Amino acid sequence: MSQSPLNLRQLPSSPPESVRPWIGIHYLCSGKYIRVYRSADGMQYHARCPQCSRCTVFRVGKGGSSARQFEVSCR
Ligand SMILES: [Zn+2]
């Protein structure tokens, strides 16, 4: 019994720049979960509630929260 090895290519150690970091936002008011990508300047995440269109800005800060998921309630 011999299985051929998986044809894996070597992955680069760092992701390409086209992959933008994101965070998950759970809107309690609408009960929806969205994914928010980092803004063009790389300093903020602009989240928008799918229910009431209210915007929430998350700042990217060094030494800040390393959490990738947040809960937001617009009310
Ligand atoms: Zn809302």
**Tens digit of pLDDT for each residue in 39-61?**
988 889 999 999 999 999 998 87
Q: How much distance in Å is there from the Cα of 46 to the middle of ligand 1?
A: 14
What local confidence, expressed as pLDDT, does residue 20 receive? 81
Confidence (pTM): 0.65
Region at 63 (left for phi over 0; alpha for psi -120 to 50; beta for the rest): left
**Domain residue spans of the chain:** 22-72
Q: CA-CA distance, 62 to 41, in Å (whole number)?
A: 15
What local confidence, expressed as pLDDT, does residue 64 receive? 65
Q: Residue 23 contacts by C-beta under 8 Å, 6 or more apart in sequence?
A: 35, 36, 45, 47, 58, 67, 68, 69, 70
Q: CA-CA distance, 69 to 22, in Å (whole number)?
A: 9
Q: How much distance in Å is there from the Cα of 23 to the middle of ligand 1?
A: 17
